[in-house]
């Protein structure tokens, strides 16, 4: 019965203990009473200790969960800070670029406007670019287009195919591009033709012209689109053309058009 009902057993122990406490005890009875107290109280003290350990373990788990959540929050804050820092850096670079463009625009002593490049067709790498200016901005075909790159200013092409808000730029590297050019300092004229690579070809250079690698090629007065003296490129190689009284030269363009984000329009 007592095994099936622990409460009854505890009550029995308590009654016996009270009765024992109410009498004067000899040493033998006192020892029995102390043993009885130990038998009653010890299991419950162990239970209390176990409950305390469980509570402490629960608190430790909660602290670990809270610490993990705090770490996740710190990681998210760190990611946001890195994103904000990157945006700030981009704004700084953009501001520096626009400042340089505006300063150069004031110094070139030409009436030009700035347009943003909005497309660089992958199949037209050395052929065309698309800008964010069109007929509504007063743009007209065959206007000269320039670029500014690493403190150099030079010709990159001309305006073609104008729509309402965009226009296409025919690059000087396009095979159908032909520009009258002049080699400095020899003041020798020729025709600069696109080759759809990063180099142009200048032909019809007189055989007796004293030119060399490193000479600059600029637009000549024979052009009806480009003003005289604007940089086109630099001679990187010279080739004789057999028995003809002319030679040709490879010219590296001053401005790599596909490195640009903005252009100047005459």
Q: Does 165 share its domain with 141?
A: yes
Same-domain check for residues 15 and 125: no
- For residues 161 and 237, state if they share a domain: yes
Distances, alpha carbon 242 to alpha carbons 205, 247, 248, in Å:
13, 8, 11
Mark whether 184 and 139 lie in a shared domain.
yes
Looking at the fold, whether 189 and 218 belong to one and the same domain comes out as yes
Tokens 């990157």: give the residue: 86
- CA distances 18 to 10, 26, 30, Å, are 12, 16, 13
Which residues make Cβ contacts (< 8 Å) with residue 201, sequence separation at least 6?
A: 192, 193, 195, 248, 249, 250, 251
Q: What is the residue range of 190's domain?
A: 114-265
Per-residue confidence (pLDDT) for residue 109, from 0 to 100? 61
Q: What is the pTM of this model?
A: 0.63
Query: Of 52, 79, 107, which closes a domain?
Result: 107
Same domain, 159 and 68: no
- pLDDT of 107 reads 55
Q: Please report, rounded to a whole number, the percentage of residues in the chain having pLDDT higher than 70.
A: 71
Task: Check which CATH number belongs to the domain holding 177 and give it.
Answer: 2.40.10.350
Answer yes or no: do 83 and 42 share one domain.
yes
Do 20 and 147 reside in the same domain of the chain? Answer: no
Do 82 and 10 belong to one domain?
yes
Clarify whether residues 167 and 120 are in a common domain: yes
Number of domains forming the structure of the chain:
2
Examine the domain organization and report whether 149 and 75 are in the same domain. Answer: no
Mark whether 157 and 210 lie in a shared domain.
yes
Flag whether pLDDT at 157 surpasses 60: yes
Query: What pLDDT, in 10s, does the model give residues 94-103?
Result: 666 666 666 6
Distance CA 265, CA 144 (A): 6
Task: Tell me the CB-side half-sphere exposure of residue 131, using CA atoms within 13 A.
Answer: 32
Last residue of a domain, one of 57, 73, 107: 107
What are 205-264's pLDDT values in tens digits? 999 999 999 999 999 999 999 999 999 999 999 998 777 889 999 999 999 998 888 898
Q: Which residues contact 12 (CB under 8 A, 6 or more apart)?
A: 2
Q: What is the pLDDT of residue 124?
A: 77
DSSP state of 241: -
């Amino acid at each position: 019965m007592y095994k099936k009902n622990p409460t009854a057993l505890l009550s029995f122990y308590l009654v016996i203990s009270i009765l024992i406490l109410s009498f004067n005890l000899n040493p033998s009875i006192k020892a029995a009473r102390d043993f009885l107290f130990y038998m009653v109280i010890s299991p419950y003290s162990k239970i209390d200790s176990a409950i305390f350990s469980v509570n402490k373990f629960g608190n430790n788990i909660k602290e670990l969960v809270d610490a993990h959540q705090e770490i996740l929050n710190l990681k998210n804050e760190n990611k946001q800070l890195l994103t904000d820092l990157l945006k700030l850096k981009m704004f700084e670079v953009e501001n520096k670029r626009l400042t340089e463009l505006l300063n150069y625009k004031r110094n070139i002593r030409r009436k030009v406007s700035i347009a943003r490049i909005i497309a660089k067709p992958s199949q037209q790498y050395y052929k065309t670019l698309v800008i964010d200016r069109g007929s509504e901005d007063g743009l007209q075909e065959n206007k000269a287009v320039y670029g500014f790159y690493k403190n150099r200013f030079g010709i990159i092409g001309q305006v073609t195919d104008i729509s309402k808000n965009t226009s296409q730029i025919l690059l000087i590297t396009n095979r159908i591009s032909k520009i009258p050019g002049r080699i400095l300092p020899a003041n020798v004229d020729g025709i600069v033709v696109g080759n759809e690579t990063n180099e142009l070809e200048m032909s019809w250079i007189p055989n007796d012209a004293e030119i060399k690698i490193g000479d600059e090629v600029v637009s000549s007065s024979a052009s009806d689109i480009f003003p005289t003296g604007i940089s086109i490129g630099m001679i990187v190689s010279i080739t004789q053309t057999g028995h003809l009284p002319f030679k040709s030269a490879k010219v590296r363009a001053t401005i790599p058009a596909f490195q640009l984000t903005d252009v100047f329009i005459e």
